[in-house]
């Protein structure tokens, strides 16, 4: 699409270029956000642990992310999810061409907006992404708070197509591979309704999936529950 995207790749300490490795995208991707930065701490201990377990960990700042100028950020206006997931899919396809990448074992992990991206990865990106873990995902912007949503999407009445075309709910029948849905039932940010509606869409489409719910946990889940989430 003419834009060069920023990204990083974390390889296992025992990396052997003659072998093929599974790849896990760790992505947030929301408007104005940034995960790829030349600073200490940009790669978390979670990413380090994944690399120790034999994964190549990748993060790509897609269209709409921050520190790339106003024009780059505003490209996602009225269509949250569309260009962002297209970028992630294109990046996964390019990585799949590398000799040390197992293109049949590329997955996507994300939380909140990142969970929205993971849900799009396993639906709109089915066949490229073979597994996805979505923690506290937005599955329809109709369910998110209007102060945030309407800033980027206007109202559903004004922008029905923008809301519906990129909702994972409307692509549930496309899922291929492993899909894990995780949510806290007391989430006051991304309401639990997002996950229950996704479950309904998956069941209606006769799609197999896994789910894990934390009673009375909020958006961050937190506490000892994190031990289970990250395991």
Say if CB 180 and CB 198 are below 8 A apart: no
Q: First-to-last CA distance in the chain?
A: 37
- CATH fold group of domain 6-230: Rossmann fold (3.40.50)
**Residue 108 known to be catalytic:** no
The domain ranges of the chain are: 6-230
**Residue 219 known to be catalytic:** yes
Which of 59, 87, 108, 112 does the annotation list as catalytic? 112
Which of 130, 140, 167, 187 does the annotation list as catalytic? 187
Sheet holding 101-111, edge to edge: 6-10, 56-61, 21-26, 101-111, 131-135, 178-184, 210-214
* 132 bridge partner residues: 108, 179
Say if CB 145 and CB 193 are below 8 A apart: no
pLDDT of res. 17: 97
Mind listing the pLDDT tens digit for each residue in 64-107?
999 999 999 999 999 999 999 999 999 999 999 999 999 999 99
pLDDT of res. 40: 73
Which of 90, 102, 164, 219 does the annotation list as catalytic? 219
pTM given for the model: 0.94
């Amino acid at each position: 699409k003419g834009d060069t995207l920023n990204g990083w790749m974390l390889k296992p300490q025992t990396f052997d270029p003659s072998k093929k490795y599974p790849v896990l995208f760790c992505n947030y991707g929301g408007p104005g956000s940034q995960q790829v930065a030349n600073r200490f701490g940009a790669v978390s201990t979670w990413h380090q642990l994944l690399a120790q377990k034999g994964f190549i960990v990748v993060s790509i700042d897609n269209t709409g992310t921050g520190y790339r100028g106003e024009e780059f950020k505003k490209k996602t206006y009225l269509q949250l999810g569309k260009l962002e997931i297209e970028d992630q899919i294109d990046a996964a396809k390019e990585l799949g061409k590398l000799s040390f990448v197992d293109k049949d074992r590329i997955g996507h992990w994300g939380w909140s907006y990142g969970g929205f991206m993971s849900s799009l990865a396993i639906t709109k990106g089915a066949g490229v992404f073979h597994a996805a873990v979505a923690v506290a995902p937005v599955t329809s912007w109709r369910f998110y708070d209007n102060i945030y949503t309407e800033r980027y999407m206007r109202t559903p009445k004004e922008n029905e197509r923008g809301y519906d075309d990129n909702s994972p709910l409307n692509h549930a029948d496309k899922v291929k591979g492993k899909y894990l849905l995780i949510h806290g039932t007391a989430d006051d940010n991304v309401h639990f309704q997002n996950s229950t509606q996704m479950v309904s869409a998956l069941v209606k489409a006769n799609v197999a999936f896994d789910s894990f719910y934390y009673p009375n946990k909020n958006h961050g889940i937190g506490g000892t529950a994190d031990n289970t989430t990250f395991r």
